Structure 1
Amino acid sequence: MPSYQDIYPSEALLRSFDVVRPRAGDLLNLEYFEAEPADMPTLVFDQHHILLNLNPQPHDVENWRDGAHRKFTFRQNEVVITPAGMESGWRWHARSKVIVVTILPDRLARFAESELAIILTEKQLRDVPQVEDADLVQAAEMVLTGLRAGGAGSNVMFDALARVFLVKLIERYGEERTEALAFTASFTAQHYKRVLDHVARHFGSQLTIEDMAREAGLSTAHFSRLFRQVIGETPYQYLMDYRVEQAKKMLGEAGRPLIDIALACGFSDQPHFTRVFKRLTGKTPKEWRAIS
């Protein structure tokens, strides 16, 4: 089967697999397109594809899905979910401004089972020809914004925000909803982003898990459980990952003392910095600096 990327009639302006290769980069691809009116042939794809509309101007589109033809007005914050194996084709009558997320079924199945402890049906995602979902669109936009920003910490941020998107997707459009996921429904992508931004602003201070929970408006215990379920690691692990990403950038500054870098990244002292850095990278800061 062809991939969605092979058929789209214009080049993506930004593609996640050109920018980062974190854990989530092996799970989903996110691309941003602005394309003039055009057609996509009706084909069957081996990926799930999720189309998220950012265009503030409503515009007419046509969609062929397993032989059925729909012509509809596509509005900002609307989403179309096409499961893998479904025949689909498109025609749009105005300039598009969309995010396209594509996911291979075997990787989605592994994510759902290993990270969320649920088993998806063979179809995995529901066929959704058109639905308004501003929260899911916002989650995708946050991933896009992180890709555009780049810089130190972008891999960690992309990984975390991509996981937020995937949990929202499975929670709302998975073939089977589960009670284990239902309690996250009121905790929006913006809540997660607020916590991650708080880490980005304060990673150099003595930031605590209680501080992060307070930013989310949750108890520490509830926040820690929810964060682990959605992001895939504990708040402490995420904070250490982020600090190490920032430290890698600072190690490129020739002559900067390691103790200065340790304190600037929020580590209590240089030995603490060295222990965490080696555990996460396999090398000491001094060894990393020598080869980078």
Structure 2
Amino acid sequence: MPEEKALTIDYSQKDAASTFAPKPLLSSQQAGWRNIHLAHYQLPAIEVPEIYNVQHVIVIPFWKQPVEVELIAEGKRYLTQHDQKETALNCIEVLPAYVPISSKCKQEIELMHCYLEPTFLAHAAHESVNPDRVEVKLALQAPDPLVCQIGLALRSVLETDANNSYFYAESMATALAAHFLKYYSTRKHFLQEYEDGLPKYKLKQAFEYVAAHLHQDVSLVEISEELGISQYYFCRLFKKSTGMSPHAYLIQQRVERSKQLLKQRGRTINEIAVECGFANPSHFAKCFRRYTGISPNQFRMM
């Protein structure tokens, strides 16, 4: 159990890090994400007291000058030297949940944090992994372009379409969880691969679920629970069956539904956007143009 003197930080809560860090430049706090959270910081010289993180913390730093960081994890001291070469190599750091950690840095730094929920990680591929045996190890200065790409993709969706980013964030969290089970677990986990896609009846079940919930904030967790499989295998098998990710299929179906409604002259563009599950008319127009090559208004005039 955490000692009383240590801070327990739950990054799913608003302003969780405000006791030792300034407000982030960008945060997923208002986007409604559940299994993964993100914050982009510009930090002054800082000393973080001993804390217990409720989530696994993935640090994606943007080193712009030589920096020395002192980290103490479970009583062991790590003194690391950083510079721009690490940024070029896409180096990350992984701080496991519920491990006592303190740190000190004497220079200003810019970095991004991804916070991954331990329960989500443990159950992301439950067909292949015993959830009770999932533990994450500390990693410092680890080159990992995939994790950096996922972090940057999540930041991009927050910057451009935060209000409609929940399903996309879940998809990225699932990919990140599978990667962590393979490379950052204290035990070796082997995720089974399937040559075939979903059985026809389960694929039909997935299609029907999406169709019935197009106007809602569709959850990847809820779809996979409906089918009785993990998020990881649902995403993998769905793509094998359809040639597209669940997120891409969801957007495609929303666009197809909007095309039907655009033929009904009594409905406004705003009403159609809401009914088809788009966050706003701007997001609707962007997705519609991506799939059709024209705007909703141009389609309506055809």
Q: Same fold (TM over 0.5)?
A: yes
Shift of 1:37: 1.1
Alignment of 1:46-65 (within 5 A): 46-65=54-73
Structure 2 distance, partners of 1:92, 1:264, is 46
Structure 2 distance, partners of 1:105, 1:69, is 24
Alignment of 1:90-109 (within 5 A): 90-109=103-122
Shift of 1:165: 2.4
Shift of 1:101: 1.6
Shift of 1:72: 1.1
Instruction: Describe the superposition over 1:223-255 as per-residue Cα deviations: whole angstroms up to 9, x where unpaired.
Output: xx8952698996374333113555679876158
1:179 counterpart SS class: coil
Instruction: Describe the superposition over 1:130-172 as per-residue Cα deviations: whole angstroms up to 9, x where unpaired.
Output: 3222221122111111111117864443332332222222221
Structure 2 distance, partners of 1:102, 1:89, is 17
2:191 counterpart SS class: helix
Structure 2 distance, partners of 1:96, 1:233, is 44
Structure 1 distance, partners of 2:240, 2:124, is 10
Query: 1:164/1:56 Cα in 2 relative to 1: closer, same or farther (>3 Å)?
Result: farther
What is the aligned partner in structure 2 of residue 241 from structure 1? 250
Structure 1 distance, partners of 2:238, 2:114, is 18
What is the aligned partner in structure 1 of residue 80 from structure 2? 72
What is the aligned partner in structure 1 of residue 214 from structure 2? none
What is the aligned partner in structure 1 of residue 29 from structure 2? 17
Query: 1:135/1:236 Cα in 2 relative to 1: closer, same or farther (>3 Å)?
Result: closer
Contact 1:164–1:230 (CA under 8 A) maintained in structure 2: no
Percent identical: 14
Contact 2:36–2:169 (CA under 8 A) maintained in structure 1: no
Q: Residue type matched to 2:44 in 1?
A: E
Query: 1:178/1:70 Cα in 2 relative to 1: closer, same or farther (>3 Å)?
Result: closer
The answer on 1:2 being equivalent to 2:24 is no
Shift of 1:82: 1.6
The answer on 1:140 being equivalent to 2:140 is no
Shift of 1:61: 1.1
2:171 counterpart SS class: helix
Report the TM-score, using the length of structure 1 for normalisation.
Answer: 0.61
Shift of 1:39: 1.0
Query: 1:167/1:40 Cα in 2 relative to 1: closer, same or farther (>3 Å)?
Result: same
Instruction: Describe the superposition over 1:2-32 as per-residue Cα deviations: whole angstroms up to 9, x where unpaired.
Output: 335334411111111312x3xxx21111111
Query: 1:122/1:266 Cα in 2 relative to 1: closer, same or farther (>3 Å)?
Result: same
What is the aligned partner in structure 1 of residue 222 from structure 2? none
Alignment of 1:1-292 (within 5 A): 1-3=8-10, 5-6=16-17, 7-19=19-31, 21=32, 25-74=33-82, 75-76=86-87, 77-113=90-126, 117-122=128-133, 124-150=135-161, 154-180=165-191, 227-228=235-236, 235=244, 237-245=246-254, 253=269
Aligned-CA RMSD value = 3.8
Contact 2:25–2:41 (CA under 8 A) maintained in structure 1: yes
Gaps of 5+ in 1: 184-224, 268-292
Gaps of 5+ in 2: 1-7, 195-232, 276-284, 293-302
What is the aligned partner in structure 2 of residue 201 from structure 1? none
Report the TM-score, using the length of structure 2 for normalisation.
Answer: 0.59
Structure 2 distance, partners of 1:62, 1:139, is 27
Q: Residue type matched to 1:164 in 2?
A: A
Query: 1:80/1:120 Cα in 2 relative to 1: closer, same or farther (>3 Å)?
Result: farther
Contact 1:16–1:29 (CA under 8 A) maintained in structure 2: yes
Of 117-126 and 93-102, more deviation after overlay is shown by 117-126
Q: Residue type matched to 2:181 in 1?
A: I
Report which of the two has the higher share of helix. Answer: 1
